[in-house]
Amino acid sequence: MPTTAASFDFLKSAEWRRGVLRDAFGPSFWGFLAAAVGFGLVCLAVKGTDVVWDALVGDLGLLLDLMPRVLVALSIAALIWVLMPRDRMSALVGSDTGLRGLVVATIAGTITPGGPSSAYALLAVLAASGAERGALVAYITAWATLGMQRILIWDVPFMGAEFAILRFAISLPLPILAGLIARRLPFDLTIKGVAPTTPYRDSVDE
Amino acid sequence: MSIGLLALVVLLTVLIALAIRSGQDFGPVTRRFIEQFGTLVPRMLCALIAAGFIAQLIPKEAIASLLGEDAGLLALPIAAAAGLIVPAGPVITFAIAAVFAKSGASTAALVTFITSWSIFATHRILIYELPLLGASFLRLRLVSSFVVPLIAGLVAMAIGLVTGFGTVVPLQ
């Protein structure tokens, strides 16, 4: 569906705006703020004014450097979130018991966008539909270690593009390895209860 | 403009072009952007400021001797254990990783730390994995992927012997 003025109606919803503010300044935000102030005070007491000042100036430089990258990364994540149908990603994961099944599961996990609330919901659906155990482990391990969202929003801005590429390249075969190990473990696997439906609004992984 | 930002801008341009070509509605995209921005950016600011102070407070030598090049192979299990016990999401984890990087942790140790956290993140296990999949899946997954962070670290260490590619650009 193309963009129309009605596409942005959510901006007018007072309920939505309140929800965004509630999430932005929820309990964990105040925890982070308290940590920043608390460690600042300890730093002031132990190291003195100059060090606190230096740290703050350093932080400012860091933020100026970081913010453009974070903004672009968040835009990419938002586009991928909408462009990639999550249920179709996970539907790729099936009962193929060969190496192929693990490769497909790894790719699906890597490109599944979003935070843990959607990834685990998809995993539960897969498990309930009887997907093979190696593929289940490979899928969620790939989402955790290779997930594009995490690499774009966190690895690239904070650690640099080279580090992100290195970590991605090294981790690429590892979900397959985990899947192979899972297939050989003699554990009983009983999947819990009814699979939930995928939430439309993925809670943000903070 | 750094390579990281450049790569991100190129990717963004490609995705926007794809979205326009396929007649994508930009309403949900904007909505998702604002929701993620609202939750992440205020926390990120506080966590980075806290990390800046913590970096001043902790003795750099201690971090460097545990996680630096001189710690050798021992750095890997230490980094894996550190990643295992962080019971929080990426805001805190990457702020800690930035502190480690500033204090002289090696690239291999940082790869191990982040991989270990991403696999074991205890908050995710408690909030999502146990309720949705149950203990038997958790046991299967943990035993299957237990070696993954260490292997990642070993490979990073081996690559580090050949090339300096992947060295963290210290955030300061």
B2: its two tokens: 């750094």
b/e code A1-29 from CB counts within 10 Å (16+ = b):
eebeeebeebeeeeeeeeebeebbeeebb
**Considering only CB atoms, which chain B residues are within 8 Å of A160?**
2-4, 167-169
Neighbours of A51 (CB within 10 A): 15
Beta carbons of A43 and A52 less than 8 angstroms apart: yes
**Average pLDDT in the B133-139 region?**
94
> Does A12 lie at the interface with B, CB-CB under 8 angstroms?
no
- Total count of residues recorded for chain B: 172
Picking from A28, A140, A160, the nearest residue to B168 by CB comes out as A160
B127: its two tokens: 């909030």
Interface test with B, best of A18, A20, A59 (most B CBs within 10 A): A59
Is the per-residue pLDDT at A37 higher than 50? yes
Taking the model in full, what pTM does it have?
A: 0.89
Is the per-residue pLDDT at B153 higher than 90? yes
User: What is the value of ipTM here, to two decimals?
Assistant: 0.90
Is the per-residue pLDDT at A183 higher than 90? yes
| Nearest residue in chain B measured CA to CA from A161 | B4
**Average pLDDT in the A156-171 region?**
92
Is the per-residue pLDDT at A99 higher than 80? yes
From the number of C-beta atoms within 10 Å of its C-beta (0-12, 13-18, 19+), residue A137 rates as: buried
Q: Are B39 and A179 within 8 A, CB to CB?
A: no
A198: its two tokens: 């995928």
The CA distance from B19 to B94, in Å, is 30
> Does A173 lie at the interface with B, CB-CB under 8 angstroms?
no
pLDDT digits over B117-129, tens only? 999 998 899 988 9
Is the per-residue pLDDT at A199 higher than 80? no
Picking from A16, A167, A206, the nearest residue to B89 by CB comes out as A206
A112: its two tokens: 């599944």
**Considering only CB atoms, which chain B residues are within 8 Å of A194?**
none
A56-65, A102-111, B65-74: segment of lowest average pLDDT: A56-65
Smallest CA–CA distance, residue B136 to chain A, in Å, is: 5
The CA distance from A115 to B93, in Å, is 15
**Average pLDDT in the A37-63 region?**
91
> Does A53 lie at the interface with B, CB-CB under 8 angstroms?
no
Phi first, then psi: give them for residue B24, nearest 5 degrees: -70, 140
Smallest CA–CA distance, residue B125 to chain A, in Å, is: 10
